[in-house]
Amino acid sequence: MSSNAPDPTSGPPSSAAPDPALRRAEAARDAVAEAVAGTLDRLATMERTAGAEVEADLRAAGRLMARHTHRQLAANLTLVQGLMAARSLPAMLQLQQDFLRRQMDWALRDWDLARAQALDLLAEGRRAAGGEPDPAPPSAVEPKAGPPETGPPKTPETPPPDPHPA
């Protein structure tokens, strides 16, 4: 090198004390780099957690839909079998009334469960918006919507078959 400029790879001369402003700037730069790295790590962790939560919610929703569909199909099949086996109009009407009562009970129970879940989600959102920490996660066991109604149709005392069919 023909210029009088110091060689950048040689560093400061060993006899000169480092500039205090330079040390503060380097310390600030290092602190900012650590803060950014920490923030990126936290964001990556939050992304993984959120992805896992979404996947778990989707799986739970799929199981719930399958259970409800199975329950409804089983109830419909039971009703049809009962109607086919019924020997009188009052027995058929009683079967339909029982079926509709079960449907109403299921709808009310499902509504109550959905309402409770929606209120829980609202409360969770409010806590998150307020900066409050999340409470302990709920147990991994989801509430069961009830077993499907299967088996023989529930009929009132079915009268004996008519000995003289028309």
Q: Where are the domains of the chain?
A: 20-85, 87-131
Residue 98 in 3-state DSSP? helix
Task: Find the distance separating the first CA and the last CA of the chain, reported in whole Å.
Answer: 120
Q: How confident is the model at residue 5 (pLDDT cuts 50, 70, 90)?
A: low
The chain-wide mean pLDDT, for the chain, equals: 79
pLDDT digits (tens, 9 = 90+) for 51-72: 888 898 889 889 989 998 999 9
pLDDT for position 165: 47
Q: Cα–Cα distance between 41 and 43 in angstroms, integer?
A: 5
DSSP string, 110-130: HHHHHHHHHHHHHHHHHHHHT
Higher-confidence residue of 132 and 29: namely: 29
Instruction: Note the pTM of the prediction, 2 decimals.
Output: 0.47
Q: pLDDT at position 158, please?
A: 46
Report the percent of the chain where pLDDT is more than 70: 70
Q: What's the pLDDT score for residue 148?
A: 47
